[in-house]
Chain A
Amino acid sequence: VSPRLLLERIDGAVTRWLTAPERNAAGRMGLFRILFALFYLWYLATNPIEEMSGYRLLDFNHVLIVEVLPTLSLEVLRIVQAALVGALVLLAFGYHTRVATAAVLVLGIVLEAVNASTDLEHANMLLTAFVPLLMLIAGHWGDTYSLDGLRMRNRGGGISPNDPSGKYFLGARAVFVVLALLFTSAAISKVLPSSTWFTHPDLLANLTLEKNVENVIDGLPAAPGAGSFAKAEILHESMRGVIVLLEISFLFALFSATLRQLVIALALVFHSMNAFFLGIHFAPVLVAYMPFVDWQGLLERVLPQRSPPRIPRRGAALAPLALVAAGAVAALWYWNDFLERVITLDWVLDWRTINYLVLPLALAWLGAQLLAILKRVRQGGSGQLDLGTPA
C-alpha cells in the first residue's frame, strides 16, 4: 500500500468516526448549548473578577496571551466579563449562535488567560477555549432549541431534535479527542522517568494527608476518608495504577461508544469522590463530559407529551427579548453581585459542593452503563466497533 493510499484510508476512517450517527444528536447538542451557557455563567460567578485584578502581581506563569495584552484594569476586566455574560445569554437563546460562540471564545480566552497566569492548575482550557472553538467550527449546536432553529423552521428547513446525523455531533466527538489527548498526556507524564508517580509508594497517601491539612487550615471541611485512605496501603498503592489506567482508557474509548460512555461515567465518579473524600476538585472540567449525556432522551422521558417543545412560528419575536435579556443580565452582572449570588445560591454552590449534585447522578449513570453492557453481553455482542449510538 502506497503512503498516499494509506493516508487516504486513515483520513477516510477518521471522517467516518467523526461523523458517525449518534442518537438524538441534533436535539442533545442544542440542549448542551443551553447547559454550556448556564454552566459557564455559574463558573464566572464562582470567580469574582476582583480576584483577578492583581494578576500582574501574581503572574507566575507568564502566559503569552497575557504578556502581549496591555495591563487590564479592574474596570476593563469588569467590562470584558459583562460582555462575556451578555454573549452567553445570547448563546443560551441560540440567537446568531455562531457570532455568540465566537464572542464567548475570544472574551473567555482573554479572561481565563488572566486566571492561568496566576493559577494554571485551575485554569479551564476546555470550558473557555476548546469547547467553544470546536463548536464554532463544527457549527450545529445552534440548530435546535434556538432562535436560529426557529428562523430555519420558518423558512421551511426545520430540524428534528431526534435527527441522529453525525454532523450535529462532530463538535462533541472532537471535544472527546481533546479530552482523550489530555488524559493521555496525564498518563504519559506519570510513567516518564522524571515522574515520582511510581517511584514514591506513599505519594497518593501523603498527598491526600497534605491536602486535607491544607484544606482544614483554609477553613474547608475535612475530607472524611483521607486518614483511612492513607492507612490502607493496598488501596492507595493500587490507586496509582488504576488512575493511570483510567487516564489511558480515554484513548481506547475513541474506538467504542460503549467504552466511551463507561469511561466518562467512571471519570465523573472519580472526580466527585476526589472532591468529597480527598478534597481535590476540578469542577469546571465537567462541561467536557456534558455532550455525551443524551439530554434529548432525558427530556423526552421527563416531558413525553411536549417533545419537541412547541414554539409558535411567531416565536421569532423572541429575538428582541434575547437582546434585551443579554443586555440586562450583562448590566446587572457589571453593577453588583446579585446574579452571582442567585446562580451560586448565595455562594453555596461552589467547585466543591457541586459534587453533591454530580456524584449521585454519576453513580446512577455508571450503574446504567454497566447494566447496558451486561444486557448486551447476555444478548451476545456483534463483535463490531460501535462508533456511535444510531437511533
Chain B
Amino acid sequence: VLSLISEKGSILAVKVILVLFALGLCVVSNRSTLWPLVTWPMFHARTPEVPPPRVTVTHVRVTDREGDKHILGPTELMPDPRDAAANELIEMAFSPGPKREPAREHIVFLAERALDGMEVRVVEALDRTWKVDPYATPPLDRSDPLREAVSDRYPADGGRLLGGAP
C-alpha cells in the first residue's frame, strides 16, 4: 500500500507527522503514558547532594544448592543501564506490600540466570556500607565494605526458612 504513495504524498505525510509530533510534545509535557511521544526533560529538576561519607546500599546475597554464597548487585541482576529497575525490585522484595511475593520470585529467576542456571536456595537482603570520598578516583573500594549485615531473607522455593528471621 505504501509503495503506491506518490513522492508528493510521502512529503505531505512526513510534514503531517512532524507537525503532530511538535504539537504532541507541547501537550504531553513530562507524562510518560504516551511513549514514544515524550519530551526529553533530562536532569532538569534534580537537586542532587554531595554523596555522604558513608553510603549504605542493599544488594542480594544468594545461596546456591552447593551452599556457596554469591553477592549480586543490581547490574548482575539487570545489566547497566537498567540497574535502577533492579534496585526498585530489591526494595520491593524486602518491603511489605502486594508486590513483595512476585518481586521475590523474579529475583530468584534473575539470580539463577546470572549464575548460569545454578539453583538458588536462599535469598538474603545484604545491607552493605562503604566509606566514600566522593572526590577521589575511585570514590570507594567496592571490594572492601565497612560493614555487611543481613537484614532479611527468604527461601527461593517460597516455603518456610528453617531458623526463621536472621
List the interface of chain A (C-beta within 8 A of B): 11, 14-15, 18-19, 46-48, 50-51, 53-54, 57-58, 60-65, 98, 102, 109, 112-113, 115-116, 118-123, 125, 128-130, 133-134, 136-139, 167, 170-171, 174, 177-178, 181-183, 185-186, 189-190, 192, 194-197, 200, 202-203, 205-207, 209-210, 212-213, 215-220, 222-224, 226-227, 230-231, 281, 350-352
- A18-B15, A217-B57 known; A230+B35 contact, CB < 8 A: no
The reply to whether B135 and A138 contact each other, CB–CB distance below 8 Å, is: no
B83–chain A nearest beta-carbon distance, Å: 5
Q: What residues of B have a CB within 8 angstroms of the CB of A216 in the complex?
A: 138-140, 142
Complex-state Cα separation, A120 to B36, whole angstroms: 10
Residues 115 to 166 of chain B near chain A (Cβ within 8 Å):
130, 132, 134-140, 142
List the interface of chain B (C-beta within 8 A of A): 2-3, 5, 7, 10-11, 13-15, 17-18, 21-22, 25, 30, 32-36, 38-51, 55, 57, 73-76, 78-85, 88-89, 92, 99, 102-103, 106, 109-110, 113, 130, 132, 134-140, 142
A205–chain B nearest beta-carbon distance, Å: 8
Supplied contacts A116-B35, A170-B10, 11 more A-B pairs, CB within 8 Å: A54-B106, A58-B89, A63-B33, A98-B2, A125-B38, A134-B17, A136-B2, A137-B17, A174-B14, A213-B55, A350-B80
11 pairs, A vs B, C-beta closer than 8 Å = A19-B11, A113-B36, A138-B14, A178-B21, A185-B41, A203-B43, A212-B134, A219-B75, A219-B142, A223-B137, A230-B134
The reply to whether B89 and A54 contact each other, CB–CB distance below 8 Å, is: yes
- A192-B44, A213-B139, A352-B80 known; A118+B85 contact, CB < 8 A: yes
Complex-state Cα separation, A167 to B140, whole angstroms: 54
Tell me if A's interface is mostly helix, strand, loop or mixed: helix
The reply to whether A120 and B32 contact each other, CB–CB distance below 8 Å, is: yes
B15–chain A nearest beta-carbon distance, Å: 6
The reply to whether A185 and B13 contact each other, CB–CB distance below 8 Å, is: no
- A207-B48, A217-B140 known; A57+B102 contact, CB < 8 A: yes
Q: What residues of B have a CB within 8 angstroms of the CB of A115 in the complex?
A: 82
The reply to whether B55 and A203 contact each other, CB–CB distance below 8 Å, is: no
Complex-state Cα separation, A120 to B39, whole angstroms: 11
Complex-state Cα separation, A181 to B36, whole angstroms: 14
A114–chain B nearest beta-carbon distance, Å: 11
